[in-house]
Amino acid sequence: MHAIDVGTGTPLILLHGFGVDHRLLLPLDPTIEAAGGWRRIYLDLPGTAGTPIGDVASTRDVVDAVEQEIAERIGEEPFAILGNSFGAMIARQVAHDLRPQVLGLATLAGVFVAEHARRVVPPQTVLRTDPEALALAGQVGQDVAKDYAEMAVVQTVENARAFLDHVYPGLRAVDEPGLERIAARYTLQREPEDADPAPFTPPCLLITARQDQVVGYEDAWARREHYPRATFVVLDAAGHNAHLDQPVLTNALLTEWLGRVRAAAGG
């Protein structure tokens, strides 16, 4: 499995969402690096340009591939894990499967209900349009401008540039037939909180977005009793790419979570 493996210290595994790649999460790296003492391992999940899909054919297969990669890279060393969107569903399962080894869990606009029809989501909302931002995305292609407009809650030139740098490359490089195969078996047999119902006690951070029409925020909040050491946040003026829409708040919350994980681990 392809990975960007940088820094030294306690391993932090970072998992991107469905149909993109590790580049989506790289805007978080300066904040994690500034916290100090973290080895950041950004995995490219199967079906990206970096990691061929092979025989992976379901979400559970993705979980197994990630767990194998973790074992090969860090063995039994304690680690923290952060997942975005689909990557959050993978991260939740990994955290429960490897619970004794996990120091902390963070989800960013995470999938908590696999079936789209069962998710509680708000209607698509755009709080601010910016013709200059749309024009910037449109320089790459009108389909790119459309993709950007569908996701951006607050359109700005800076936000559009972040989309072009961190979202667009992954969107265009994935193995679409391979991802369709996973999508057909997207649901885990049981949600990890149901299969392993004992409260998950390491420090957690669950960032959701008020205008996220993809996964919403209520489904994550429904799990609040399972995570007694979790900070739950709903960011206004943010959609499914919450860390691009609200970078200052996201980075502040990330810094605080990393500190809690470090303190709980006795570091």
User: Comparing 28-37, 79-88, 135-144, which segment has the lowest mean pLDDT?
Assistant: 135-144
**195 lies in which domain range?**
3-122+175-264
Domain presence at residue 89: yes
Q: Has residue 87 got a pLDDT over 90? A: yes
The contacts of residue 19 (CB under 8 Å, 6+ apart) are: 170, 171, 174, 179
- 100 falls within a domain: yes
At 51, is the pLDDT very low, low, confident or very high (cuts 50, 70, 90)?
very high
Model-level pTM? 0.97
Residue with tokens 């860090």: 74
So what's the pLDDT on residue 189?
93
Note whether residue 136 is domain-resident.
Answer: no
Does residue 154 belong to any structural domain of this protein?
A: no
In a domain, 58, yes or no: yes
pLDDT score of 266: 86
* pLDDT of 6 over the 80 cut: yes
Model confidence at 181: pLDDT above 90 = yes
The confidence score (pLDDT) of residue 49 equals: 87
Residue 84 in domain: yes
Contact 51/199 with Cβ under 8 angstroms?
A: no
The total domain count for the chain is 1
Would strands 38-43 and 79-84 be described as parallel, antiparallel, or unpaired? Answer: unpaired
Query: 114 in a domain, yes or no?
Result: yes
Q: Mean pLDDT, to the nearest integer, of 95-124?
A: 97
What is the three-class DSSP state of 2?
coil
Any domain includes 250: yes
Average pLDDT over residues 143-163: 95
Edge-to-edge strand ranges of the sheet holding 204-209: 3-6, 38-43, 10-15, 79-84, 102-108, 204-209, 230-235
Integer CA distances (angstroms), 14 to 4, 27, 94, 134, 136, in order:
10, 12, 12, 29, 29
The gap from C-alpha 249 to its chain's centroid, in whole angstroms, comes to 16
Which residues, including other chains, have CB under 8 Å from residue 238's CB and lie 6 or more apart?
153, 154, 209, 210, 211, 212, 245, 246
Looking up residue 189, the CATH number of its domain turns out to be 3.40.50.1820
Mean pLDDT of 58-69: 98
The pLDDT of 117-121, averaged and rounded, is 97
